[in-house]
Amino acid sequence: MTNQKGRRVRKGPYVKRRKDARTLAQIEQKFEALQERLNITFSNVELLKQAFTHSSFVNEQRESEGDNERLEFLGDAVLELTVSRYLFEHYPERSEGELTKLRAAIVCEPSLVQFANHYQFSDMILLGKGEELTGGRNRPALLADVFESFIGALYLDQGIEAAERFLAEAVFPKVATGFFEEQTDFKSQLQEAIQRVGLGVIEYEIIEERGPAHSREFISRVQVADELEGIGTGRSKKEAEQQAAKQALLELKKQF
């Protein structure tokens, strides 16, 4: 900012406080709109905000209450329980192994990203400037974490029944249509496809690990001789390998 003589003038604390107040008001409006859109009213709105608060935002904003990492931990457990109960009650003919594979397909990172994107959760995330500039808002692992932390916040605020009601709208209808059946075991599908076309031996390799210990992300590569390759990411080595196999299957369909 410059004065009439063209000299630079430092912004005083009043200007900064006024800007911070506008930012806080905008955040409040965003979360009010989200509750209206989801038809969910939080008793403790601070919990809702925390669910969307990335650690990078907390590091830059001293007045922030805390990030969403602990809520993510809780939400992961709530998801496992509620999805397990749904599958147990609706698929009495399935074995334990079949239910485990189906649950893994529902709560894996790519699925959670789809759920988060459906509700436009990426627009709600509170990020630090550095994380924003590096594309963090659309990073799959971050979006999956936010969906879990939202479930954790909803559970704390309103109980397991509210979490189940939300999942009954967001997740369970897709399960009923068989959407996740095709995603249960890409590695087996790839193995069968490779045997049919006779390409050779399949090799999996973890080529990168990134992120903090509580929110690790793995990158896997699958190769079949020198003719086929697939890259996948996941929050476990098995999930990363499944996603790599999925990409390799897509490439195989193009070639044959």
Q: Which residues are annotated as a binding site?
A: 72, 145, 148
Which of 219, 214, 225 lies closest to 251 in space, CA to CA?
225
Residues 6+ apart with CB under 8 A from 220: 204, 205, 206, 207, 231, 232, 233, 234, 237, 240, 241, 243, 244
| Residues facing 224 on adjacent strands | 202, 228
Would you name the residues annotated as active-site residues? Answer: 76, 148
Overall residue count recorded for the chain in this entry? 256
Residues annotated as binding site for Mg(2+)?
Answer: 72, 145, 148
The whole-angstrom separation of Cα 164 and Cα 107 is 14
**Please, what sign has the CA dihedral across residues 76, 138, 175, 221?**
negative
